[in-house]
Structure 1
Amino acid sequence: MEDREARRQAALTADSAEERAVTGPVEKLQPSPRLRVREWPGLLVAAGKDALADELPMLASALAFSAFLAIPATLILVVGLFSLVAEPSVIGDLMEKLGTVAPAEAVTLVEDSLLQLESQSSTGLVMTIVGFLLAFWTTTGAMTTVMTAVNRAYDLDDKRGFPKKRLVAFGLVLVVGVALMLLAALLVFGPHIEGWVGDALDAESWVGWVWWTAQWPILIGVLFLAFSAVFALATDHTNRKWRLLSPGAAVAVLLWLLVSAAFAFYASGFGSYNKTWGSLSAAIVMLVWLWLSGLALLFGAEVDAEWERRRGAERASPRSPAPPR
């Protein structure tokens, strides 16, 4: 704790020095300075200690619970949108793609709920409006948990009022929602585009290989940009610069992919959720997966915060005079 307090004081000193040096707008998009390879181990260890001090597992549990509550309302909104612009078969295509990174029980729970709602929907427009109102409240509630965790990682007190917090949270929901819609569009319509291009070029196998290879870089890139935007917008810090790329976003994406794949493998091969929980097994698996996803996301915020503290301490420390020639 003493070491963490020392880092907090160093960060405050660096922030004060940076504020005195500011002469223009600082909330602008810019690339991150390069992080040297030898700095990564110490950075990750320090971020891990900070995560435990900030009670990250508890915050991830709150985020998982809030996200789980947001699922029904979000599904209503998704079904309403699908009924207006897409065919029911799109649901199966999306769930097939989701199954490559999520546990099978979680995918089955979402797919069954979507199909049941789709079969019972009367008017797509009404369902879309109701789903939007419910999804707005529940998803912004989940995002306020993210904002709390990110501000705690930066040792900041979020002084924004309730309306402003909800508006900022809605902006974060839009960022994540747009990213997910882009991914869904690419994954669903990508194979059709691949077929058209392959037929036009008379190179179906080559174009198919290119698309199969490009799917994962596209997924990682979109998530990377979305996480970077979430980390930048969640903090109540007017002088923090919005960076296009951040080490925390890279760690969060890679960690999320790893824990999702590992948990999906465990749940399918070694887990006994069906025997233990019966009909509740799908909900339990979904909650555990959301908790692991929350841990990955919030640990990325801790990495970003520790990285910026170190950079701030370097800027605030006096430079050594150049040796005489």
Structure 2
Amino acid sequence: MVNRSPLRSLWNLEGISLRVVLRRTARSFLKDDLLGRSAQLAYYFLFAVFPALIATSSLLGIAAKSATGFYMEILQYLAKVIPPEAFDLVLHTFDQTTAHSTTGKVTVGLLAALWSASVGVSAMQDALNSVYNIRESRSYLRARLSAMVLTVVISIMLTFSLSSMLGGDLLGHWLTATIGLHAVVGWMARVLGYAAGGSFLALTIALLYYFAPNFKARAWRWLTPGGALGITCWLTASIGLRTYLQFFNNYSVTYGSLGAVIILLTWFYLTAFTILLGAEFNSELEAAIAERKLAQEQLSHPPKPRNEAA
């Protein structure tokens, strides 16, 4: 296996053609079975989302109804990328669980949510290990604890991302409607809010790529080419799916009442695929750079010829 340098920037291709990296990525895409692993992750995501909603809504329902309303406003920003039918299913489940919040449900829901979500992150660990050609050397307990911690951190980052978008809109409305500033100022506040939300999303991907694989030597990178590719593909795929369903929605006719679940599962599938695709691109880019560096070192320092026996 090629020894990869963990301390260099991935944005410096050092003369490597982007076409070469893309060709390597396409070849590894088939070898690592990203389509199959994405389907596996989509199931785990679907398995985790509803227990997570139960725990979150139970906590907010006990804390205060105003807090629940605030969280509902945050969730509305998911509607910009999640197809409407799937989002309605998520909100319907949220409303039902919020209306029946109890202390027992909080305890059971939190444990179930953390365990279920960590199962999904654990599957992501295995998938990323396969993408980076790394063997899992952590014990089961250590890997699962790492997955649980990463689950909590990712949940916090995603909440910050959605809250930043909400904060930008609220600030823009306050500056224009209350203070009476020009509409351009309010528009700039909203842009800053969405930019902050995008930054938190990029940070979430960076945390996932940094902590999930079983790297022996790690170097923190805020934004990698694969991370940028994954986020761009995810936004494009999410908006594309949403647009397709807006004009060609046949899921309800085909699947009946299960249409919303199928749509949500499809969106989870696209999400998992774009995350793995970005990691695969990073892996092949690192390998190509390491191979080029090794070839240059061999040219600069050719091996000394062996002395022939007398």
TM superposition shift of 1:129: 2.7
Is 165-174 or 31-40 further displaced after alignment?
A: 31-40
Within a 5 Å distance, the mapping from 1:18-57 to structure 2 comes to 32-35=10-13, 39-57=17-35
For 2:110 and 2:14, the matched residues in 1 are separated by 44
- After TM superposition, list the pairs within 5 Å mapping 1:58-97 onto structure 2: 58-83=36-61, 84=63, 86-97=66-77
Q: Distance in 1 between matches of 2:17 and 2:149?
A: 33
Q: What is the CA RMSD across the aligned residues, in angstroms?
A: 2.4
CA distance in 2, matches of 1:181, 1:223: 10
Per-residue deviation at 1:74?
0.4
| Aligned-partner Cα distance in 1 for 2:242–2:177 | 36
Which structure 2 segments of 5+ residues have no match?
302-310
Aligned equivalent of 1:270, options 220, 236, 248: 248
After superposition, the Cα gap between the structure-2 partners of 1:197 and 1:36, relative to the gap in structure 1 and judged at 3 Å, is farther
Residue 162 of structure 1, CA deviation: 0.8
How much does 1:242 deviate?
A: 2.6
8 A contact 1:73–1:135 mirrored in 2: yes
76-85 or 281-290, which moves further after superposition? 76-85
Q: What are the within-5 Å matches in structure 2 for residues 199-218 of structure 1?
A: 202-203=180-181, 205-218=183-196
Q: Is the 8 Å Cα contact of residues 175 and 230 (structure 1) preserved in structure 2?
A: no
The match for 2:121 is 143
Matched letter for residue 253 of structure 1 = I
How far is the alpha carbon of 1:199 from its aligned partner? Answer: 6.1
Greater shift, 140-149 or 84-93, is seen at 84-93
CA contact (8 A) 1:48 1:299 kept: no
Unaligned runs of at least 5 residues, structure 1: 1-8, 19-25
Distance of aligned partners of 1:35 and 1:213 in 2 relative to their CA distance in 1, 3 Å threshold = farther
Which of residues 98, 105, 108 is equivalent to 2:85?
Answer: 105
Distance 1:45 1:201, change over 3 A: farther
TM-score (norm 1): 0.83
Pick one of 98, 101, 118 that aligns with 1:118: 98
Counterpart code for 2:51: A
1:303–1:197 distance in 2 versus 1, CA, 3 Å: same
- How much does 1:238 deviate? 1.1
Amino acid at match of 1:222: F
Residue in 1 that maps onto 2:234: 256
8 A contact 1:91–1:111 mirrored in 2: no
SS across alignment from 1:159: coil
Change (3 A) 1:104 1:200: closer
The percent of aligned pairs where both chains have the same amino acid is: 24
Letter in 1 for 2:128: V
Alpha-carbon deviations, 1:135-166, whole Å to 9, x = none?
11111100111111111111111121110111
> How far, CA to CA, are the matches of 2:269 and 2:43 in structure 1?
8
- Distance between the aligned counterparts of 1:321 and 1:137, measured in 2? 53
**How many residue pairs were aligned?**
298
String of CA shifts for 1:90-134, please: whole Å, max 9, x gaps.
3542343111111111100101110111112244xx433322201
Could you say if the C-alpha distance between residues 172 and 253 of structure 1 is closer, same or farther in structure 2, counting changes exceeding 3 Å?
same
Does the 8 Å contact 1:195/1:204 carry over to 2? no
1:51/1:302 contact within 8 Å kept: yes
* Residue of 141, 165, 178 corresponding to 1:163: 141
**What TM-score do you get using the length of structure 2 for normalisation?**
0.87
Please give the alpha-carbon distance, in whole angstroms, between the structure 1 residues aligned to 2:120 and 2:99.
28
Where 2:17 maps in the other structure, the secondary structure is helix
Counterpart of 1:289? 267
SS of the residue 2:99 aligns to: helix
Quickly say closer, same or farther: Cα 1:89–1:45, change in 2 above 3 A: same
